[in-house]
Amino acid sequence: MSRHFLAEGIELSGGDRGIVVAVAVVALAALVVGYVLLREVLAAGQGTSRMQDIAKAVQEGAAAYLNRQFKTLGVFVVVVFVLLFVLPADSLGQQIGRSLFFLVGAAFSASIGYLGMWLSTRANVRVAAAANQAGGREKAMRVAFRTGGVVGMITVGLGLFGAALVVLVYAGGAPKVLEGFGFGAALLAMFMRVGGGIFTKAADVGADLVGKVEQNIPEDDPRNAATIADNVGDNVGDCAGMAADLFESYAVTLVASLILGTAAFGAQGLLFPLIVPAIGVLTAVIGVYITNARTGESGLSAINRSFYISAVISAVLCTIAAFSFLPSSFAGLSGISTELSSQSGNPALIAAIAVIIGIVLAAVILWLTGYFTGTEHKPVKDVGKTSLTGAATVILSGISVGFESAVYTAVVIGAAVYGAFVLSGSVVVALFAIALAGCGLLTTVGVIVAMDTFGPVSDNAQGIAEMSGDVEGEGAQILTELDAVGNTTKAITKGIAIATAVLAATALFGSYTDAIKQALAAVGGAFNDGAFAVFNPSVLVGVALGAAVVFMFSGLAVNAVSRAAGAVVFEVRKQFKENPGIMDGSTRPEYGRVVDICTKDSLRELATPGLLAVLAPIAVGFGLGTESLAGYLGGAIATGTLMAIFLANSGGAWDNAKKLVEDGNHGGKGSDAHAATVIGDTVGDPFKDTAGPAINPLIKVMNLVSVLIAPAVVAATTGAGASVGLRASIAVVAVVIIIGAVVVSKRRGTAIADSPAETVSDGVS
């Protein structure tokens, strides 16, 4: 099925347009529900004046960082906007639409990230205040989870509205335009993930190493100059970054579904992927409102229960929708090829099972990740026990947990992909089934975002309580418990996010090969399936390069945190040494200096991973050809899946092992065992909150770049327009830029410890 057919052959009837309009209305309703939840969160009490002052400092620092980040990214977005316009499309209208909706996707991603930060920095003090009241446990959890619910509803609302708008305007040409929408969302999410991750973990590692280990003071002690930066980082990294990340997962999965749906199911395939997430809006509302901890019940149990209930509701409603909207045979589908219309099978049954596979996948990953990172399960307890023999055994046991959990999770994701693929004997229908599995998984995205935001909000609430000293006894214990629950929910959402990346990327392989076939047909060439076989040396080389880029990307992210954290350590040590009054409380630390170090270091590190993600596929495609680029994507997906899960779950296990010791196990706070788990946690910080989560948008950025450049690569290698010189020039320029960026990035580490920190006037110094 050619891309040309998809653009020109499918028109929407009046009834079809009515369905799209209804989906858009549902999306807007999600935004309304988000606003209602927002008002509820902001109506909660804010505690003492000291708590409010600390919260205000965090708000100002987070806003200052994101404002500077968006200014930095503005230039990059403009450049990509122009390049997208230059790439070929079926019509001028699609070229313009693709570039414009690239901006829309980027703007939506940035807006959701900013909202996540803005609300989280206001909810944290409210959660801390609620924990100090009668019935504080239930009240605090309600405020924290509904804060996430706001971000979740905005995520599904904007994602669904953007996709529905494109389909309404462009009909059959929507998939090409949606490539730009998904690319904009993924690119901004990757930058926010990397930048926010570097910021938050540089501050966190620096604060822990000097405060906990060297000075033997609590994690969020106000005498530690890095505490405000640490709390700022939770919001710009976990809240803003993850909100943008899950939005781009939502957008890119819809893109893959709509591209393949038009080929597999015709007009119905263009609409059904919109109906599924529309159902997800309803289940998200239910999931958010039924999440209430019962007396004596674990917060994680309450969250898991609401997730499973919403997942079951999604499965039932999506099955009903499939059998109501789709026909029972391919002959009943409109706008598909003769070959497809004559094939056997039940489209409604295929779609229903595919969606259920995705929903079940989300539930299994929730359980699996919770087992490997939860404080009540054996893996984390075992990591905690190893603290009795020192930091080395803590690190070794945590790495072991990460490796083992990555295997099981990868097998589960692989089983879901394969299960969806074997639903049909037609490759294009099978790929559409994989994309629908991704849509099924994302019917729960509203609850997933709420689960993720719950973590940093609870963490910040505990920090504000400790810094202010106004929350003690039972209230402090409540916040400690919610913080541990939040560590697990964050790990769960990262596992689900990487699963969506694999499903979307696998589905996008279909659109990649379709783009190559269409481009070859335009220049009189023929598509050779054998050239893409794994035993082809050029494909194998591409696999190795794709895997290598994931390692390079992860190394750059971890190294960036190491350099920035080193600068924070030097600054905090310097303040303790030069201002003895800090320790006795007579002098206030200069918080703003650490905020500024983290801001500058994280922003200057954005360029290298961004250039690597965008230019590496260009270098492979133009330098080695479309076969190597296909292998490159396969290597990146496989390696990225394992690497992301390993990093996330190792970090989560180390963090919760530290919480386990701090709860009084193995000697409790201040013991040698505690110091060992702090070291493990600081190693895990860049694993779980910087490198690991950023791999998810990295995979999708590289896939979308490949889809976008595939026609240009074919034109440069086949037919009258073929030019070895042009190909070589593009590939060499891309490689040189990547090498230059990496070299510049590596050189920064030699002088960072000697660079004087500059105070910023952002309200936190």
Q: pLDDT digits over 613-670, tens only?
A: 889 999 999 999 889 999 999 999 999 999 999 998 999 899 889 888 988 888 888 8
Instruction: Establish if 763 belongs to a structural domain.
Output: no
Under 8 Å between Cβ of 174 and 258:
yes
Count of structural domains, the chain: 1
pLDDT at residue number 760: 37
Categorize the per-residue pLDDT at 406 as very low, low, confident or very high, splitting at 50, 70 and 90. Answer: very high
Residue closest to 72 by CA, chosen among 518, 606, 516, 549: 606
Range in 435-444, 552-561, 662-671 with the lowest mean pLDDT = 662-671
pLDDT at residue number 447: 87
Instruction: Establish if 312 belongs to a structural domain.
Output: yes
3-state SS, residue 1: coil
Mean pLDDT of 179-205: 84
pLDDT at residue number 388: 93
Q: What is the C-alpha to C-alpha distance for residues 691 and 676, in angstroms, rounded to an integer?
A: 23
Instruction: Establish if 762 belongs to a structural domain.
Output: no
Under 8 Å between Cβ of 144 and 459:
no
Q: What is the C-alpha to C-alpha distance for residues 600 and 92, in angstroms, rounded to an integer?
A: 41
| Residues ≥6 apart with Cβ < 8 Å to 170 | 93, 94, 97, 176, 177
As a whole number, the mean pLDDT across the chain is 85
* For helices 136-170 and 92-131, angle between their N-to-C axes, nearest 10 degrees: 170
Token look-up 């040698």 returns 672
pLDDT at residue number 721: 66
| pLDDT above 70 for 497 | yes
Buried b (16+ CB within 10 A) or exposed e, 604-640: bbbbbbbbbbbbbbbbbbbbbbbbbbbbbbbbbbbbb
| Segments forming the whole domain that contains residue 716 | 3-290+297-754
pLDDT at residue number 167: 85
Quick one: residue 407, left, alpha or beta (phi over 0 = left, psi -120 to 50 = alpha)?
alpha
Q: What is the C-alpha to C-alpha distance for residues 646 and 400, in angstroms, rounded to an integer?
A: 9
Mean pLDDT of 297-311: 87
Residue closest to 453 by CA, chosen among 230, 150, 219: 150
Instruction: Establish if 554 belongs to a structural domain.
Output: yes
Range in 179-183, 651-655, 737-741 with the lowest mean pLDDT = 179-183
Categorize the per-residue pLDDT at 749 as very low, low, confident or very high, splitting at 50, 70 and 90. Answer: low
Q: What is the C-alpha to C-alpha distance for residues 275 and 321, in angstroms, rounded to an integer?
A: 8
pLDDT at residue number 387: 93
| pLDDT above 50 for 420 | yes
Quick one: residue 162, left, alpha or beta (phi over 0 = left, psi -120 to 50 = alpha)?
alpha
Mean pLDDT of 71-99: 81
Query: What would the two tokens of residue 515 be?
Result: 């783009």
Mean pLDDT of 19-23: 91
- How many angstroms separate the Cα of 501 from the Cα of each of 215, 437, 686? 42, 12, 20
Categorize the per-residue pLDDT at 720 as very low, low, confident or very high, splitting at 50, 70 and 90. Answer: low
557-574 tens-digit pLDDT: 888 888 888 888 888 888
Q: What is the DSSP string of 585-617?
A: TSS---HHHHHHHHHHHHHHTSHHHHHHHHHHH
Q: What is the C-alpha to C-alpha distance for residues 723 and 66, in angstroms, rounded to an integer?
A: 43
747 vs 363, more confident: 363
pLDDT at residue number 756: 43
Residue closest to 657 by CA, chosen among 391, 294, 442: 391
Under 8 Å between Cβ of 284 and 157:
no
| pLDDT above 60 for 107 | yes
Instruction: Establish if 49 belongs to a structural domain.
Output: yes
Instruction: Establish if 628 belongs to a structural domain.
Output: yes
pLDDT at residue number 251: 81
Q: What is the C-alpha to C-alpha distance for residues 578 and 567, in angstroms, rounded to an integer?
A: 16
Mean pLDDT of 5-27: 75
**In the chain, what percentage of residues exceed pLDDT 70?**
95
Categorize the per-residue pLDDT at 27 as very low, low, confident or very high, splitting at 50, 70 and 90. Answer: very high
| pLDDT above 60 for 751 | no
309-353 tens-digit pLDDT: 999 999 999 999 999 999 988 888 877 777 777 777 899 999 999
